[in-house]
């Protein structure tokens, strides 16, 4: 993805394989909106795309300060991409704070576009800068700098529309957008449509934003600051119809699809929390799909309401992030005891406690596995990418209903807000989820046993309203079969083991775990969740460089796939990169007695591919030396 | 539901489980009156669900031959809300206690009431934690000596009726475990109410707080220590029905009807639909200064949350057509590869 080619004097169009752009400004500057627009436009142009929105926890942090900087990074390419890119080709910065906090990620020779009107003394002061960074020689030595009077040009473009100066300045982001669109030969159509629909009730604002966008484009075409534009050809994705999808959206749609496939109505009980709330926002729009959303009074009520819905025969789902999952723990244990189907979604964020609400992390694995009193095993699945959230939701519901138990889905802030092209599935081609509720009984029938078992140890899902199946469930230990309260010692131990065995049985219906790369060799990289893209790309790069390395990405964290042990022992070394201090690594070492190493990072940011590649290289080299010593 | 109404008796509602409350516990009477009342609703067993939290009272569902859930401490209203949204046609009872509902579950209690979910909540108030063996509860009076308050309880107790009023519950009543006729009638009215019905039941814990409600339970004194609220009727009490309650400004006072100074027309007439401020005056009448009101404090009709959630779904389907996922997935910006 190089744009380092020698520059000609006239405007040229250069074909490049991929571009990584980061748009940064104040949290109120509309950077997330710009990023989304650039992503959609690039996806529609046929590129593969991956995004990384990064914003502060405060809605409107103090304007112009470093704390208030909000960013959106997107990589679009003519080849497959699985990450938003390590280093930036272009940095668009709307103010000095945004520039200085992001500059380190720009590659040498990369392009900086700044709004030079926002580098006044007061702006520098807000960014805690003594000197104007635009005047630093090192800046122009190392990078290509385009100082654009974005504010002035935007104001000029919209001056006769009767907007207040503040309103006019709010169009700055579309000017910047227009300029970026010109730079990468992007069509303005999608964004024009977006503006028209978003501001349909505010004709002056609509007109102003349209003008700003066009003015930005025109500026690119005429300015001498930029001497070339770049073109990224469409990517060769699998054939089919695509759309762009975000992780939280895909989870919402996956839940709706699972409900449809199982002929159930979705009940979604939740409490607002970052970064999970967008699933609620998405689902509450779809009442005509039979979706019932319930914004509960707290996290506990949210999960309890979902269990109540499950007892009534509905598809009960609750969702939160780490702090909320902690509050739901007792009720999740009850769901284990009741043996009712339930989906619990944890969109992870930086912890512990309130932690880093808007930043990503993978540190809730042990919480969802073990964070309950007593022996309370629960199957855990983790989505690997925005689009994968859709399939994960369906699979979670398939497991929950087949085995009558709660299932956890792990997502994270990175995939929740990230987006990628999604091959649109056809609902008619997805396997149905078959659920059978036992039918009515009369007094002539033998008594109903709510805790009787099938061959995989699942119990019948008898729902209120069915004559003859009246039964009571509860948190006290159950006698197997009858489901009556039992304090019997032998029964308790048997039930504890039975619940564990039931969860272990889930592995019997899972497809065997696949690896990308050689079936044995020097190194196996094992990952889970949102680090998939970076690990996949890093392993591919290492393989291309001739290293003996394979990648094993786990969707199932509990139970593990049946063949995982065999896979782990087929490589000399096992590396487990995680955005935590080694949670999966601990589990693998415990269960498989494998000397797994970790690559661990807890900075609220995803892995850069380069970090992984250099670790893989280091391990492979050490391993190679070891062999030859 | 079948077209022919089942003819059930109290015994049909008894499960096969052995009842394990302490002998002499007030819970037995409440269970019995519930079983006696239920046939009058004309519902088959399978249409009824009892949801409870944790505590002595919350064992209740195990003893009923209906559907039931013994959930977790304080959260029964949340389970019941999810159940009712999913299955609004079911008749749901929430069984809870003073600790369950007012302490650990105070939040859910309040939100259940403000949402006015269509169910009946029976709050067994024994002013003590029984299952954990005798700590004071949020309704224990100040100064009460318990296992956890050897020098007397310091916190001011909650009044469940006032709390329910504050949350604008649409049906609020009080009854007494051993006042069987009154309890059965009160439960019946509560069960017929459309919306959340709260019934506080004074319940004696004969092991850890014996006699807490003696004044209200004792047949020889209760005519003087309680006053039965009847809609549209003046507040009269006393063995000889010779005492009444009148309002002096906003202050209630007991007046003697036998002297001729006051007549029925001077008394406060009970109105179940009255402004909550007026009902609050009744709720504040406590023994021994006043006879404590029993019966229905308030009964008004308001939209019900569970019904409305389902109405929104139905009207969305009517207005926009039943959702089609394939159509949704293919809406907006899409592109074709290959």
Give chain A's residues under pLDDT 70: 1-10, 624-629
pLDDT tens for residues B81-112? 999 999 999 999 999 999 999 999 999 999 99
Alpha-carbon span B34 to B56, nearest angstrom? 16
ipTM of the complex: 0.97
Q: Which CATH number is A163's domain given? A: 3.40.920.10
Q: What is the model's pLDDT at position A624?
A: 64
CA distance A524 to chain B (A): 33
Per-residue model confidence (pLDDT) at position A28:
81
Check A290 against B323: CB less than 8 A apart.
yes
> Are residues A217 and A304 part of one domain?
no
Same domain (yes/no): A288, A216: no
Q: Tell me which chain A residue has its CA closest to the CA of residue B307.
A: A292
* Of the partner residues A234, A237, A308, the one whose CB lies closest to the CB of residue B81: A308
Residue indicated by tokens 């509990």: A558
Q: Is residue A5 part of a domain?
A: no
In a domain, A3, yes or no: no
Contact status of B61 with chain A (Cβ, < 8 Å) = yes
Contact check, Cβ <8 Å, A288/B313: yes
Please, which residues have CB within 8 angstroms of residue B43's CB and are 6 or more apart in sequence?
B1, B6, B91
Contact: B70, A473; criterion CB under 8 Å: yes
Domain membership of residue A471 (yes or no) is yes
Q: What is the pLDDT of residues A418-439, one digit of tens each?
A: 999 999 999 999 999 999 999 9
For residues A400 and A266, membership in a common domain is answered with yes
Q: pTM of the entire structure? A: 0.94
Q: Is the Cβ of A239 closer than 8 Å to some Cβ of chain B?
A: yes
**Residue A179 CA: distances (Å) to CA of A175, A457, A480, B214:** 6, 61, 68, 83
Measured in degrees and rounded to the nearest 5, phi and psi for residue A86 equal -80, -55
**What is the reported pLDDT for A622?**
86
Q: How many residue contacts between A and B have a Cβ separation below 8 Å?
A: 213
Residue A511 DSSP one-character state: P
Residue A227, pLDDT score? 83
Closest to B66 measured CA to CA, from B1, B104, B15, B108: B15
What residue has token string 């394990």?
A: B20
Domain presence at residue A4: no
**How many CB atoms sit inside 10 A of residue B151's CB?**
7
Of B280, B266, B258, B269, nearest to B235 by C-alpha is: B269
pLDDT tens by residue, B159-193: 999 999 999 999 999 999 999 999 999 999 999 99
Between CA A282 and CA A254 the distance in angstroms is 12
Q: Is residue A126 domain-shared with residue A209, that is, in the same domain?
A: yes
Phi/psi at A592 (5° precision):
-115, 5
Contact B77, B109 (CB under 8 A): yes
Whether A81 and A185 share a structural domain: yes
Closest-CA residue of B relative to A249 is: B329
Kindly tell me if the per-residue pLDDT of B250 is higher than 80. Answer: yes
Chain B residue with minimum CA distance to A471: B67
Q: Report the pLDDT value the prediction gives residue A11, as an integer from 0 to 100.
A: 74
Domain residues for the domain of A462 are 436-486+498-509
Radius of gyration from C-alpha coordinates of chain B? 23
Out of A297, A309, A468, the one facing B108 most closely (by C-beta) is A297
C-alpha distance from A374 to closest chain B C-alpha (Å): 15
* In a domain? residue A477: yes
Number of domains chain A is built from: 4
- Asked if residues A408 and A344 have their Cβ atoms less than 8 Å apart, the reply is yes
pLDDT in tens, B50-65: 999 999 999 999 999 9
pLDDT for the residue B56: 96
Using an 8 Å CB-CB cutoff, list chain A residues near B323. Answer: 256, 286, 288-290
Select the residue of A242, A309, A334 nearest B337 (Cβ to Cβ).
Answer: A242
In a domain, A532, yes or no: yes
Question: Domain ends where: A446, A475, A509?
Answer: A509
The closest alpha carbon to B47, from B107, B88, B100, B98, belongs to B88
* Largest Cα–Cα separation, chain A: 94
Question: CA dihedral in degrees (B284, B287, B291, B296; nearest 10)?
Answer: 50
Residues A86 and A193 placed together within one structural domain of the fold = yes
- Measured between beta carbons, the chain A residues lying within 8 angstroms of B313 are 287-288, 290-292
Q: How far is A236 from chain B (nearest CA, A)?
A: 8
Residue A377's domain is classified under what CATH number? 3.40.50.970
Is A211 in the same domain as A122? Answer: yes
Read off the tokens for A381: 């699945």
For residue A279, give the nearest of A346, A367, A351 by alpha carbon.
Answer: A346
Q: Which domains does chain B have, with CATH numbers?
A: 10-229+295-311 (3.40.50.970)
Query: Inter-chain contact B78–A240, Cβ cutoff 8 Å?
Result: no
* A56 and A194 co-located in one domain: yes
**Positions of E strands within A292-388:** 292-295, 315-320, 342-348, 380-382
- Smallest Cα distance from A580 to chain B, Å: 32
Residue A266 domain-assigned? yes
Residues 82-111 of B with CB under 8 A from A: 82-87, 89-90, 107-108, 110-111
Q: A208 and A255 share a domain?
A: no
Using a CB-CB cut-off of 8 Å, the residues of chain A touching B316 are 287-288
Q: How far apart are CA B134 and CA B148, in angstroms?
A: 8
Query: Using CA atoms, how far apart are residues A356 and A354, in angstroms rounded to an integer?
Result: 6
Question: Domain holding A531: CATH number?
Answer: 3.40.50.920
Measured between beta carbons, the chain B residues lying within 8 angstroms of A238 are 337-338
- Structural domain includes residue A237: no
A273 and A417, same structural domain? yes
Q: For residues A315 and A463, state if they share a domain.
A: no
The pLDDT, as a whole number, for residue B2 is: 47
Of A509, A541, A560, the position where a domain reaches its end is: A509
Residues whose CB is less than 8 angstroms from the CB of residue B21 and which lie 6 or more positions away in sequence, other chains included: B27, B28, B56, B59
The answer on A221 and A247 residing in a single domain is no
Q: CB of B160 within 8 A of CB of B198? A: yes
Q: Is the pLDDT of residue B205 over 50?
A: yes
């Amino acid at each position: 993805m190089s744009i380092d080619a020698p520059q000609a004097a006239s405007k040229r169009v250069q074909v490049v394989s991929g571009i990584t752009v980061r748009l940064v400004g104040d949290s109120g500057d509309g950077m997330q909106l710009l990023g989304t627009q650039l992503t959609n436009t690039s996806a529609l142009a046929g590129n593969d795309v991956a995004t990384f929105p990064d914003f502060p926890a405060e809605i409107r942090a103090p304007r112009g300060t470093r704390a208030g900087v909000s960013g959106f990074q997107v990589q679009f390419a003519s080849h497959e991409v699985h990450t938003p890119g390590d280093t930036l080709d272009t940095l668009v910065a709307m103010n000095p704070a945004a520039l200085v906090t992001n500059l380190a990620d720009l590659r040498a020779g990369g392009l900086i576009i700044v709004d030079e009107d926002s580098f006044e003394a007061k702006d520098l002061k807000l960014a805690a800068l003594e000197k104007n960074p635009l005047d630093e020689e090192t800046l122009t030595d190392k990078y290509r700098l385009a100082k654009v009077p974005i504010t002035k040009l935007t104001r000029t473009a919209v001056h006769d529309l009767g907007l207040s100066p503040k309103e006019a300045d709010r169009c700055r982001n579309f000017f910047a957008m227009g300029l970026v669109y010109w730079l990468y030969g992007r069509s303005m159509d999608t964004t024009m449509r977006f503006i028209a629909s978003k501001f349909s009730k505010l004709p002056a604002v609509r007109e102003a934003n349209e003008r700003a966008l066009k003015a930005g484009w025109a500026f690119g075409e005429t300015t001498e600051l930029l001497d070339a534009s770049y073109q990224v050809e469409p990517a060769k994705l699998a054939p089919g119809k695509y759309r762009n999808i975000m992780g939280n959206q895909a989870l919402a749609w996956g839940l709706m699809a699972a409900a449809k496939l199982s002929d159930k109505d979705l009940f979604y009980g939740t409490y607002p929390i970052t970064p999970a709330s967008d699933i609620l926002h998405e689902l509450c729009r779809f009442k005509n799909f039979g979706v019932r959303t319930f914004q509960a009074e707290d996290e506990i009520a949210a999960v309890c309401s979902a269990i109540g819905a499950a007892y009534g025969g509905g598809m009960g789902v609750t969702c939160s992030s780490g702090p909320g999952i902690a509050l739901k723990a007792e009720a999740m244990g009850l769901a284990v005891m009741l043996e009712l189907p339930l989906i619990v979604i944890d969109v992870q964020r930086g912890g512990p406690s309130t932690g880093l609400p808007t930043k990503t992390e993978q540190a809730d694995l042990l919480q969802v596995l073990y964070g309950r009193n007593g022996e309370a095993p629960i199957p855990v699945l983790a989505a690997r990418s925005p689009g994968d959230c859709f399939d994960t939701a369906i699979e979670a519901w398939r497991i929950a209903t087949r085995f009558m138990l709660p299932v956890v889905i792990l997502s994270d802030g990175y995939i929740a807000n990230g987006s990628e092209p999604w091959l649109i599935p056809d609902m008619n081609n997805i396997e149905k989820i078959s659920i059978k509720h036992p039918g009515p009984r009369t007094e002539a029938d033998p008594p109903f046993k709510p805790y009787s078992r099938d061959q995989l140890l699942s119990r019948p899902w008898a729902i209120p309203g069915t004559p003859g199946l009246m039964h009571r469930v509860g948190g006290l230990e159950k006698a197997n079969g009858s489901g009556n309260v039992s304090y019997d010692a032998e029964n308790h131990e048997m039930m504890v083991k039975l619940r564990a065995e039931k969860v272990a049985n889930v592995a019997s219906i899972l497809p065997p775990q696949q690896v990308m790369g050689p079936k044995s060799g020097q190194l196996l990289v094992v990952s889970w969740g949102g680090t998939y893209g970076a690990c996949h790309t890093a392993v591919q790069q290492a393989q291309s460089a001739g290293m003996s390395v394979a990648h094993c990405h786990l969707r199932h964290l509990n139970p593990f796939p049946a063949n995982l042990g065999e896979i782990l022992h087929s490589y000399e070394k096992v590396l487990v990169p995680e955005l935590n201090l080694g949670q999966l690594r601990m589990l693998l070492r415990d269960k498989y007695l494998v000397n797994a190493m970790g690559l661990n990072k807890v900075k609220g940011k995803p892995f850069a591919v380069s970090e992984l590649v250099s670790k893989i290289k280091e391990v492979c080299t050490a391993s190679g030396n070891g062999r030859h010593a | 539901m079948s077209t022919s109404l089942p003819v059930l008796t109290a015994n049909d509602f008894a499960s096969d489980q052995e009842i394990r409350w302490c002998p002499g516990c007030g819970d037995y009477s409440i269970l019995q009156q519930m079983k006696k009342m239920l046939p009058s609703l004309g519902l088959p067993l399978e249409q009824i669900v009892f949801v409870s939290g944790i505590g002595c009272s919350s064992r209740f569902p195990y003893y009923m031959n209906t559907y039931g859930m013994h959930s977790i401490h304080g959260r029964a209203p949340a389970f019941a809300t999810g159940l009712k949204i999913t299955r609004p046609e079911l008749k749901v009872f929430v069984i809870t206690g003073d600790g369950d509902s007012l302490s650990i579950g105070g939040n859910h209690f309040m939100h259940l009431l403000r949402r006015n979910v269509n169910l009946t909540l029976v709050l067994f108030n024994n002013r003590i934690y029984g299952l954990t063996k005798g700590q004071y509860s949020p309704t224990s009076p100040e100064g009460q000596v318990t296992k956890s308050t050897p020098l007397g309880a310091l916190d001011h107790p909650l009044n469940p009726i006032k709390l329910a009023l504050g949350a604008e519950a649409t049906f609020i009543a009080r009854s007494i475990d051993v006042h069987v006729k009154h309890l059965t009638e009160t439960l019946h009215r509560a069960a017929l109410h459309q919306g959340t019905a709260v019934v506080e039941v004074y319940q004696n814990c004969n092991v850890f707080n014996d006699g807490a409600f003696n004044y209200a339970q004792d047949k020889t004194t209760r005519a003087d220590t309680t006053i039965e609220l009847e809609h549209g009727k003046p507040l009269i009490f006393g063995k000889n029905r010779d005492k009444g309650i009148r309002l002096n400004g906003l202050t209630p006072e007991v007046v003697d009807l036998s002297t001729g100074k006051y007549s029925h027309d001077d008394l406060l007439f009970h109105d179940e639909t009255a402004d909550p401020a007026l009902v609050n005056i009744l709720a504040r009448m406590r023994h021994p200064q006043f006879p404590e009101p029993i019966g229905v404090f308030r009964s008004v009709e308001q939209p019900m949350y569970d019904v409305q959630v389902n109405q929104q779904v139905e009207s969305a389907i009517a207005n926009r057509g039943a959702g089609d996922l394939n159509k949704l997935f293919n809406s907006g910006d899409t592109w074709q590869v290959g």
